[in-house]
Structure formats: C-alpha cells, structure tokens
Chain A
Amino acid sequence: MIPIAYPLSLAAILFIIGIIGFLLRKNAIVIFMCLELMFNAANLVFITFSNYYQLIDGQVFVVFVMTVAAAEVAVGLALMVAIFRTKHSIDIDQMNSLKG
C-alpha cells in the first residue's frame, strides 16, 4: 500500500495551487476552476482516509461533494453569463462599481 503521506501531500499541493490561483488569477472562470481544484483536493483526502480506515463514510461524503459542486457550477456559470451580458467581460479587476 502507498504510504498515506503521499496522497495527503498531493492533496495539500493541489489545495495550495487552488488557493494561489484563486488569489492571483483575474478571469472569473479560471478562479472558479481553482475553487474546483480545492474541492477535489478535499475529495482526495476523504478518499485517502476512507481507504486507510477501510470505511465507506469518506467515499459517501465525496459523492455529496461532487453533487453540490455541480449545483454550484450551475449557479456560478449562470452568474458569469449574466455579468458578461452587462459588462462584456468577466475580468474581476473590472468588478469595481462597489466602493466606499
């Protein structure tokens, strides 16, 4: 069996790449992809522990996460389409109408 540290490190790396991408990228779609990366890093941790303890709980959790992520995609992409219609851009640097 692969030592548990390997998949956990991979998940941590994916999670950190997600965070860095979220903070640095400007395109809302790419930011959203980084968020998905964070979710899937968490899924990997669940699967790892699920396998390690030989428990089904973690895998069930992953199914829920994937379902919810799909619902979020639906709402998120709809929002981005609406914004693209108004502003003709989904660059978050142009999201500056709210200031005070």
Chain B
Amino acid sequence: MTLNDFYSILPAVILIFSALVLLLADLWLSKHTKVVTPMLAVLGLIASIAASILFTGNVENGFGGFILVDGFSRFLVPLFAVTGIFAIGMAYDYLTRMGIQRGEYYSLLLFSVSGMMLMASAGDLVIIFLSLELLSIPLYILSGFAAPKAHSEESALKYFLLGTFASGFFLFGAAFLFGAAATTNLNGIVEAVTSGSANSTFLIIGSGLLLAGFSFKVAAVPFHGWTPDVYHGAPAPVSAFMSVGAKAAGFAVLIRVFSLIFPSLAEQYTPIFWGLAALTMLVGNVVAIAQINLKRMLAYSSIAHAGYILMAFVPFGDAAIRANSVASALFYLAGYALGSLGAWAVVIGMEKEDNQGTEINDLAGLGKRSPLMAAAMTVFMLSFTGIPLTLGFWGKFYLFRTAIEGGFISLAVIGLLTSLVSAFYYLRVVVKMYFQEGDSKFHWNFWTAAVAVFSALVIVVLSFIPGSLFDLAVKALLTGS
C-alpha cells in the first residue's frame, strides 16, 4: 500500500477511526458529559472534509483502480460529510427528548457516512458491494434505534429485508457483469464493452439486475414500497439522513456505472429509464397528495424527486448531452439534500415525545408561534415545488433542459405537469402554517433550528447564484479516467 492508496480513502478512514474512538469514549463518559460524543463525531466529520479537500488533490486512483478519486467523488464526499453533520445536529435534542440518547447513534452514523464516501469513489464491483453494505447495515440498526417502540422495530425489519433483497439483485447482477467482461473492475468492464469482447447477453442481464437493485436504494417506482413505512417508523433524524445520504449514494453508483457502460447499451436502456422516471414522478407526486402525515408526505416527495433525478439518465446515450445531464443530476441532488434535511429538521422539532404531532394539521398556526421555522419550512416547500427563482426551480430547469435537448420532450412535459401537481401538497403545508389557527408547538432547540435555518439560508443564497453551484457540478464530471 503506497501513500497515494492511503490518501485516496483517507476521508473514510478518518470516519471509521473516529467511529471506533466514539464507541470506546462513550463507555467512559458519565451521563452529564454525553454531549461530548456528538461533538467528537462532528469533529471527525470535519476532519474528513478537510482530508478530502487537502489530501486528494493529486491522487487519481488508489489500490490499482479499486478506488477512483475524480471530480465526481470530490463533489460527493463533502456532501455526505455535511449530511452527516446535519444528521447529528438535528439528532441530539430529539434523541434526548425521546429517551434514546445512546452513543451508538453517532458511531453508526459515521460508519454509514464512510460507506457512502467509499461508494462515491468505488471503481470496482467489489468495492461497490462492500460500501453498499457498510452504508446499509448501520442504517438497518439506526432505523430500529427507538426499540422497543414497535413502529421503529417494524421499520427496521422492513428496511432490512427489502434492503437485503435489493443487495441480492445487485449481487446477482454484479456476478453477470463479471461473467460478461471477465473482470470486476469498472474501467475493465468499459474496455471490454468498447472493444466488443464482452458478452452482450450477460451484460444486459447484469446491468438490468444492477439497475433493479439500485432502484430500491434510490426508491424509484416500482421499487419504492418500503420508503413511506421506513421513513415513518424510523427515528426522524435517521429518516432525514436516509432520505438524503442513502439516495445520493445510490445515484452516485448509478451515474458512475451507467454513464460508463451506457453508451453501448443506450438503445436498450433509454426506454427503461424513460419509464422509470415517468412512473416515479407520477406515482410519487400523486400519492403524496393523499398523505396526512408529514413524514409520509416527505417520503413520497423523496420518491418524486428521485423521479426527476432519474430523468437525467434518459439522454445518456447522447454523448454531447451526457456531461450536462450528469451535472444537472448532481445539482438537483444538492438542492434536494438541503431542502430535505431542513424540512426534516422542522418535522423533528414538531414531533412530540409520544411520536404524535407530525400530521400536516399539526402545523396549523406555526406561522404565528415560530415564525422563523415557518419561514424556513416555506422556503423548503417552495424550493421542492420549483417555484421560479428558487433552487428547486433551477434544478428542474437544468434537468428539463437536458431532457429537451436529448429530444425527450414528452418526458419534460410529464415533469412539468407533475411539478404542478406537487404544488398542491407543498403549498398546502404553507397555507396550513400561515392561514389556520392552531396550537402547534415547535420544540425549540438551537441545533435543530440551526440546521433548518442554515439549509434555508443556503437555498436562498444559491437561488440567486445557481450558476456557481452548477459550475461546481460540471467540474465534477466524470472525466472517463
């Protein structure tokens, strides 16, 4: 192992190391000093961001192509770490109030973030599989973190069974990709595909199963069934973390694998992605209307947003547009991450100790009682809807533009119409907060509120300068290395 190899995985190594330290440190901390654990965890995450910026500058890959360090992973690794910091910020008060303040939360979270980081820089099917499990297994435990509450345990079991089911699909697909190309290295597979030595039947079976496996992870229809139940039953900070981190990691692999091997399979996969994207947008948005619980509404909204991101995959066959479509997917992912984390932070503040208080009706009167939180929530809802000049609008604008450039006008129209549908349930939240009387209470905690306000501020600022974030995303393009 050379120093370069070590640098290529340094951000993840730091996280795993701090997670282990946390497990030990937590044993010696007394009840009154428990606040040290989340602080150490945040320190670890910050160190990991610093490492990804400072030490990966001239590293291109590590471990002989097992780890790829390119603009793509440099864009996503800090995004995952920030997601982790937010998930800790909103969790501390929530865990205390729910009586589940246990130190394992933070170390499991760090393990999961390290899995996501490795996933974004995976250059080999083995690493994709291992990081997928490193990401998922802690999440299974975290979903059941409120045990012995029945709904949390149930959510954990559902997530566990369906997540493992998805891993099974991925694994079977990976085996056939290995069979097609006689290598598990992604670049090796690409070489085999471009030189024509790959067995095309095995290639199609393999990539199809791979797609099915990751459609589970990103919650694309028809593989979305677990999402509402799991997000509803799991502790809210865990749902927030899952809805952003696990989804982004799933998309990272989909983008990496399909943008590499897609060109030769465009004919077969364009219609499949078209159908997946259209179905996900339609089902996600339409079913979200019927939800009366905020958590379930956010779950369906996360399904719908996965549909918009899937739209970026449709024009992948066109080499001229591919670069822009990857960039717009990353841009949308970043905007969605901010909105989702912030909206969940508000839900966390609303949830009472008996897990009530998360119905949409419970938001009534929030505009008067907690004007700051209501304003933040309004920003998230408007951005989710894609009201012009918000961050969500720019995200959709870039996505629809690449779809139209690729000649998929009908898909862009579906996207536009479903956005209109989504306005109904997003704006209902805003109307509830400002125009109805109620006695809802936001459990004020500095860190929870800080997550919400900070996300809202970043969304507002980026709404005015979307170009700079988009440029960052363009820089993150796969250079085909």
With an 8 Å Cβ cutoff, the count of chain B residues facing the other chain is 44
Are the C-beta atoms of A82 and B147 separated by less than 8 Å? yes
> Does any Cβ of A come within 8 Å of B435's Cβ?
no
Is the Cβ of B165 less than 8 Å from the Cβ of A38?
yes
Docked Cα-Cα span, A53 to B156, in Å, equals 40
Whether B171 lies near A85 (C-beta < 8 A) is no
Are the C-beta atoms of A75 and B140 separated by less than 8 Å?
yes
Q: Are A64 and B126 neighbours in the complex by a CB distance under 8 Å?
A: yes
Given the known inter-chain contacts A32-B161, A38-B172, A75-B137, please indicate yes or no for A86 contacting B184, CB distance below 8 A: no
Q: Which residue of B lies closest to A14 (CB)?
A: B172
Binds A, one of B174-182, B247-255, B334-342, B459-467: B174-182
Complex contact A22–B165 (CB within 8 A):
yes
Identity of the chain A residue whose Cβ is nearest the Cβ of B205 in the assembled complex: A12
Of B289-297, B391-399, B410-418, the segment with at least 4 beta carbons within 8 Å of chain A is B289-297
Over the window 165-193 of chain B, the binary record of Cβ atoms lying under 8 Å from chain A Cβ atoms (1 yes, 0 no) is 10111011011101100111000000000
Majority SS at the chain B contact face: helix
Q: Is B270 an interface residue (CB 8 A)?
A: no
Q: At the interface, yes or no: A28 with Cβ under 8 Å from chain B?
A: yes
Closest Cβ of chain B to A92, distance in Å, is: 8
Interface residues of A in 43-100 (CB under 8 A from B): 43, 45-46, 48-49, 52-53, 55, 57-58, 60-61, 64-65, 68, 71-72, 75-76, 79-80, 82-83, 85-87, 92, 95, 97-98, 100
Tell me the B114-131 residues at the A interface (CB within 8 Å). Answer: 125-126, 129-130
Q: Are A72 and B178 in contact, CB atoms less than 8 angstroms apart?
A: no
- CA of A55 to CA of B168 in the docked complex: distance in angstroms? 23
B130 pairs with A18, CB closer than 8 A = no
User: Which of A42, A61, A98 makes the CB contact (< 8 A) with B172?
Assistant: A42
CA distance A97 to B232 in the complex (A): 10
Interchain CA distance A42-B147 in the complex, whole Å: 33
| A65-B129 contact given A18-B168, A95-B158, A100-B291, CB 8 Å threshold | yes
Tell me which residues across on chain B come within 8 A of A31, comparing CB atoms: 161
User: By the criterion CB–CB under 8 Å, are B175 and A42 in contact?
Assistant: yes
Residues of A contacting B144 in the complex (Cβ-Cβ under 8 angstroms): 79, 82
Could you tell me the distance between the alpha carbons of A35 and B156 in the complex, rounded to whole angstroms? 16
A63–B258 CA distance with the chains assembled, in angstroms: 26
Q: A79 and B153 in contact (CB under 8 A), knowing A42-B175, A49-B175, A53-B182?
A: yes
- The answer to whether A42 touches B233, judged by C-beta atoms less than 8 angstroms apart, is no
Q: Is the CB of A64 within 8 A of B130?
A: yes
**Residues of A within 8 A of B (CB-CB), count:** 43
In the complex, what's the smallest C-beta–C-beta distance from B5 to chain A, in angstroms? 18
Contact A86 B183 (CB under 8 A): no
Q: Which residues of B contact A35 (CB under 8 A)?
A: 161, 164-165, 168
Question: What separation, in Å, do the CA atoms of A85 and B171 have in the docked complex?
Answer: 32
Contacts of A38 in B (CB 8 A): 165, 168-169, 171-172
Q: Which of B29-49 contact A (CB under 8 A)?
A: none
Checking A22, A41, A87, A92 against B150 with a beta-carbon cut-off of 8 angstroms, the contacting residue is: A87
**Shortest CB distance B118–A (Å):** 13
Please determine whether A98 and B155 come into contact, CB atoms closer than 8 angstroms.
yes
How long is the Cα–Cα vector from A79 to B233 in the complex, in angstroms? 14
How long is the Cα–Cα vector from A41 to B371 in the complex, in angstroms? Answer: 56
Say yes or no: A75 contacts B141, CB within 8 Å: yes
Set of chain A residues within 8 Å of B154, measured between Cβ atoms: 83, 95, 97-98
B237 at the interface (CB under 8 A from A): no
Q: B-contacting residues of A (Cβ < 8 Å)?
A: 11, 15, 18, 22, 28, 31-32, 35, 38-39, 41-43, 45-46, 48-49, 52-53, 55, 57-58, 60-61, 64-65, 68, 71-72, 75-76, 79-80, 82-83, 85-87, 92, 95, 97-98, 100
What are 17 residue pairs bridging A and B, where the CB atoms are less than 8 Å apart in the complex? A15-B168, A18-B168, A28-B161, A35-B168, A38-B168, A43-B175, A45-B176, A58-B184, A82-B144, A86-B147, A92-B161, A95-B157, A95-B158, A97-B151, A100-B228, A100-B293, A100-B296
Closest 6 CB pairs of A and B: A38-B168, A45-B175, A42-B171, A49-B179, A98-B229, A42-B172
